[in-house]
Amino acid sequence: MKKNGFTLIEILVVLGIISLLAVYLVPKLMGIQDRGKEVAVKAVAKDVQLAVEAYQMENEVFPMGQNIPLANLVTNYLSPGGYMMTVPDNPYTGKPYQASDGAGKIIYSYNDTTGQYTIQAYKRNGFSKVIELGNL
């Protein structure tokens, strides 16, 4: 009498192969997602730069302040003038940027002595910059 089915060895070999693939592929796929989100953060930073430049053209001065989180910049300067209607969504959270965001944060600073501004956008860790823009 012949029994159909898999032996314990066959099942263990298949599970081992699946485990090896998972160990190799999961980190790679997570890295791809982070790179995609970093590209999205760069795009938001460039949109903010365009809005800041439009603000300056109309008001003949850049928004004033140091280390202003994106949510505050949009709420206090860009939205009232119609340069950016709403606070953009943070690619890491999927929700509008908040002043307390760490992952993907975007910070604006203006140096009134030199007349230069910078927009710094960060990666998931909140410490490594993805891009720095400005009128340098």
Q: What pTM was estimated for this model as a whole?
A: 0.79
pLDDT of residue 92: 93
Q: Which of 103, 112, 118 is CA-nearest to residue 49?
A: 118
Structure tokens belonging to residue 32: 């791809």
Report d(CA 134, CA 108) in Å as an integer.
Answer: 9
Per-residue confidence in pLDDT tens, the chain, 136 aa: 667 788 889 899 999 999 998 888 887 877 888 899 999 999 999 999 999 999 999 999 999 999 999 999 999 999 999 999 999 999 999 999 999 999 999 999 999 999 999 999 999 998 999 999 998 6
Q: Which of 93, 101, 44, 49 is CA-nearest to residue 72?
A: 101
Sign of CA dihedral 36, 70, 53, 122: negative
pLDDT of residue 1: 62
Sign of CA dihedral 91, 94, 95, 99: negative
Count the Cβ atoms, other than its own, within 10 Å of residue 52.
Answer: 24
Place of tokens 């192969």: 17
